[in-house]
Structure 1
């Protein structure tokens, strides 16, 4: 898995971030129809120690590294404070203490000393590939840019529709003038 995606990049490609229902498993991350659903992550004073202990437990007992993969997947998206802000604003990360910079630091450093011992492939490979495929499609990027820059409120959408309508009417008028001129010449 290469780490070319970030929260900002997937947001710019039109991916919506959505917190999962309360009853879902903490490791259950899904991506369908342009929506990345991640269970809520509560960050407090003990979060880093807890996460490191879970990773260590998986490695010491030679278990499948589901939590390691979870942290690896999230660390791809949370590389900067802006990325962390997107997760906070969308309700995926709930901070009890700290700020966006602390969260990005947590997710970028949590796996530095950990060694990956996995007896199976990357647990989130399918989700990551689908997400990357969605983000690489130009149409999704254009659609997201149009929504974000031109259709962010009803008035801008109405003015854009009026501009398109006037452009079409001008084209029709020019076409009718050309046809009328041809009829007069005959």
Structure 2
């Protein structure tokens, strides 16, 4: 993926050789998209497909890697540069296990391909992430996509940079991997927790700290930290983790509360009876 043939050259060759049109009988861009079906991320982002019709990039494509990037990216997200200007070296969110303690729920993103979002609830937060498949060819693909965004991000956005940056922050320990694997965000494969963390370190080397941070990613970080630092949320999460993680502990806590209430009522009843006799 290092050396890309300009897309207008590919289109010209396809149009000129009528035999190719007769053999495949489909537009060149659809033929290119079919070539990506065996590579993760496999599915096109749902924002690119409307009633089974693919909406092409209005300004055309630069090369084959651009088509792959465009087809797997959410429409209109991670494009606008944050104001005030920030670089990726300032991006931070806590690890998955830390966010779990502050009542953040992790879910698979329903829109497909590469995407990440965060929203608030009254006493929790919801972080949606696209499933992260790690294969033998993943490092090369992601490295190429991140390098592409480094050069053309102002025109094509920074969705892969945002996604990889989030995954690098979230996956710090084996507990983090187990948590996201339980939610289906890291599919169960032959990769164990240590191999996943090793891949995370490798992916971190692909990120460029000088790349500008998109406004969507800056807002995501602000929302996560605002929820994570709320004392009520943290105390609530610690209480659930300590007393509600095991059904026997939960039952004993409930039994203790019931016993306390009954003892309190019995004491109050005894005191009221005493004063009534007086």
TM-score class, shorter-chain normalisation, is 0.7 to 0.9
* Structure 1 unaligned residues grouped into runs of 5+: none
How many Å separate the matches in 2 of 1:181 and 1:86?
56
Match of 1:48? 139
Q: Give the superposition deviation at 1:36.
A: 1.1
Q: Give the superposition deviation at 1:138.
A: 2.5
How do residues 91-110 of structure 1 correspond to structure 2 at under 5 angstroms? 91-94=184-187, 96-110=189-203
Q: Which has the higher contact order (CA 8 A, sep 6+)?
A: 1
Q: Give the superposition deviation at 1:38.
A: 0.7
Helix, strand or coil at the partner of 2:216: coil
Question: What is the CA deviation profile of residues 22-47 of structure 1, one whole-angstrom value per residue up to 9, with x for unaligned ones?
Answer: x4341243334322111111111111
Q: Give the superposition deviation at 1:125.
A: 1.8
Relative to 1, partners in 2 of residues 1:2 and 1:133: Cα closer, same or farther, differing over 3 Å? same
Which has more radius of gyration?
2
Question: What is the CA deviation profile of residues 111-146 of structure 1, one whole-angstrom value per residue up to 9, with x for unaligned ones?
Answer: 335434545645312222212222222222333333
Helix, strand or coil at the partner of 2:127: strand
Question: What is the CA deviation profile of residues 42-77 of structure 1, one whole-angstrom value per residue up to 9, with x for unaligned ones?
Answer: 111111111111111122335443322221122111
Match of 1:81? 174
Helix, strand or coil at the partner of 2:204: coil
Match of 1:130? 223
2:121 is equivalent to residue 30 of structure 1:
no
How many Å separate the matches in 1 of 2:210 and 2:153?
7
Q: Give the superposition deviation at 1:152.
A: 3.8
Match of 1:7? 96
Determine if contact 1:79/1:108 at 8 Å carries over to the other structure.
no
Choose the corresponding residue for 2:165, options 68, 72, 87: 72
How many Å separate the matches in 2 of 1:76 and 1:103?
13
Relative to 1, partners in 2 of residues 1:41 and 1:5: Cα closer, same or farther, differing over 3 Å? same
Across the two proteins, how many residue pairs are aligned to each other? 184
TM-score (norm 2): 0.57
Choose the corresponding residue for 1:20, options 102, 109, 116: 109
Helix, strand or coil at the partner of 2:107: strand
* Structure 2 unaligned residues grouped into runs of 5+: 1-89
Helix, strand or coil at the partner of 1:5: coil
TM-score (norm 1): 0.81
Determine if contact 2:116/2:163 at 8 Å carries over to the other structure.
no
Match of 2:237? 144
How many Å separate the matches in 1 of 2:141 and 2:106?
25
